[in-house]
Amino acid sequence: MTIDKNQRELGKPSLVTGSRVGIVVSSYHRDITGKLHSGAVETLKSVGIADEDIFTAWVPGSWEIPLAAQRLLDTDKWDAIVCLGCVIRGETTHDQHINTTISNALGMLSLDYSKPVAFGVLTCNTLDQALARSGGSVGNKGVEAAESVLHMLSLFEEIGS
């Protein structure tokens, strides 16, 4: 049997009763990140998460996302964190250093706190690629990041403590 690696088998995420989700969003490239944020919030609300159970922290740039996510996790008020940003390649390797550091830090936060931390930071070569991934022809990665934490919260509920 051959499995299509692009096939999504999880289906639509469902509400995990009482879930509270923090969202950390970069203000840099706000025309892009605002769309990612809207997609994430709409996705969380679509499964019944109330406005008061969603908190958004806007940060200056993608570099600041891990620290803000850590502070949210430190409060122990949030069951999961959705991290959204946009880093577009320039003339130097700056983007690679930012992206590597952010992804490593967010991965460690998820493991250190045993809570879902979704990586919804676009790492694109061009502005057109970012637009395509923030509600354009390739979808909305903010929606996907929110779905990811919802699936993980559901899995954690199934596994139990």
pLDDT averaged per 10 residues, the chain (length 161): 48 79 98 98 95 98 98 98 97 91 98 98 97 96 98 92 66
pLDDT at residue number 145: 98
Residue 147 assigned to a binding site: no
Q: Residue 103: give the domain boundaries.
A: 42-52+64-80+89-124+136-161
pLDDT at residue number 3: 41
**CA dist 151 → 29, 115, 128 (Å):** 28, 12, 29
Residue 55 assigned to a binding site: no
Examine residue 24 and state whether it is found in any structural domain, yes or no: no
pLDDT at residue number 1: 38
Q: Which of 37, 94, 97, 151 is catalytic?
A: 94
pLDDT at residue number 34: 99
Examine residue 5 and state whether it is found in any structural domain, yes or no: no
> Which pair of structure tokens corresponds to residue 70?
């850590």
> Which pair of structure tokens corresponds to residue 75?
């409060």
Q: How many helices (H) and strands (E) does the chain have?
A: 5, 6
Global confidence as pTM: 0.91
> E-strand spans in the chain?
21-26, 54-59, 80-88, 117-124, 134-136, 139-140
Examine residue 36 and state whether it is found in any structural domain, yes or no: no
Residue 42 assigned to a binding site: no
84, 118 in Cβ contact below 8 A?
Answer: no
Q: Domain of 101: which CATH number? A: 3.40.50.960
Examine residue 161 and state whether it is found in any structural domain, yes or no: yes
Residue 21 assigned to a binding site: no
Residue 138 assigned to a binding site: no
The three-class DSSP label of residue 126 is: coil
pLDDT at residue number 16: 74
Residue 161 assigned to a binding site: no
The three-class DSSP label of residue 92 is: coil
> Which pair of structure tokens corresponds to residue 77?
């008020």
pLDDT at residue number 10: 67
Indicate if 94 belongs to the active site: yes
Give how many domains the chain has, as a whole number.
Answer: 1
